[in-house]
Structure 1
Amino acid sequence: MARGEGQRHPIGIYLWVWFLLFVLSVGSYLVDILQFEGYLRWSLITVFMLLKAGLIIAVFMHMAWERLAIICVVLVPPGVLVFLMLLMALEGHHVLASRLTWLAQ
């Protein structure tokens, strides 16, 4: 019986990632339980979400063991989109501030 040529990773890696995902989920629930408000709340929720997504992509989608070219193909386009969204948000804030200043006169 021939063995497959795929990689095998120790189960400890997966158990460790499951534990980290559990801890990060507890952290995101604590944000609600402790009733954080405003930018702190949304910043913490976003950080926990991105950390969990990064762990899932790296380990369960096997990106940590892929070639750099595949990683760039998968991760660079969403990164560029997020960067462009931040630029649009900054421009929108600037336009709103300019309009409020101009119309207040």
Structure 2
Amino acid sequence: MEGQIQPHVHAAVAPAAAHAKGQQHPIKLYLVVWAWLFVLSTCSYLVDYFGLHGSLRWSLILLFMVLKAGLIVAVFMHMAWERLALAYAILLPPVLVLVFVAIMVLESEYTHLLRVLFFATPS
């Protein structure tokens, strides 16, 4: 009995041994992600091809860029399989920067109005 591993002990040791070797992901996952990156890049190119202008153009380009970056970070940088604390440490700061940029964009017209009112040359 001493030389045998108990079933409950073997169940706990097997995942640890697999994790020590390194986790292997199926090649299909990477091919699907590459296909999505190709589709998103094509869509980004089509924004320029169709000659979209203004806010729609930049919104679409930024949307496709964020989607592509998210796929790359999640799959190729293995963030989809990391601990939640590590994911928050890496992903939360850029999200907060985007929130602060959005606040600045919303406040920019008010700041511009104040500058026009107080720094305008008297006529």
Of 19, 25, 41, which residue of structure 2 is paired with 1:9?
25
- Within 5 Å, give how 1:1-105 maps onto structure 2: 5-100=21-116
Counterpart of 2:97, as a letter, is: L
Counterpart of 1:57, as a letter, is: V
Deviation, structure 1 residue 7: 0.6
Q: Which moved more, 1:69-78 or 1:86-95?
A: 86-95
CA RMSD of aligned residues (A): 2.2
Q: Which moved more, 1:66-75 or 1:76-85?
A: 76-85
Counterpart of 2:70, as a letter, is: G
Q: Give the percent of matched residue pairs that are identical in Structure 1 and Structure 2.
A: 52
Deviation, structure 1 residue 93: 2.0
Counterpart of 2:101, as a letter, is: M
Distance in 2 of aligned mates of 1:39 and 1:97: 22
Question: Which one has a bigger Cα radius of gyration?
Answer: 2
Deviation, structure 1 residue 53: 0.3
Structure 1 residue runs of 5 or longer lacking an equivalent are: none
Distance in 2 of aligned mates of 1:93 and 1:66: 41
| CA deviation string 1:46-86 (max 9, x = no partner) | 00000000000000000011110110000011111111121
Provide the aligned length of Structure 1 versus Structure 2. Answer: 104
Which structure is higher in RCO with an 8 Å CA cutoff and minimum separation 6?
A: 1
Q: Which moved more, 1:93-102 or 1:66-75?
A: 93-102
Deviation, structure 1 residue 89: 2.0
| CA deviation string 1:79-105 (max 9, x = no partner) | 1111112112222222113444675xx
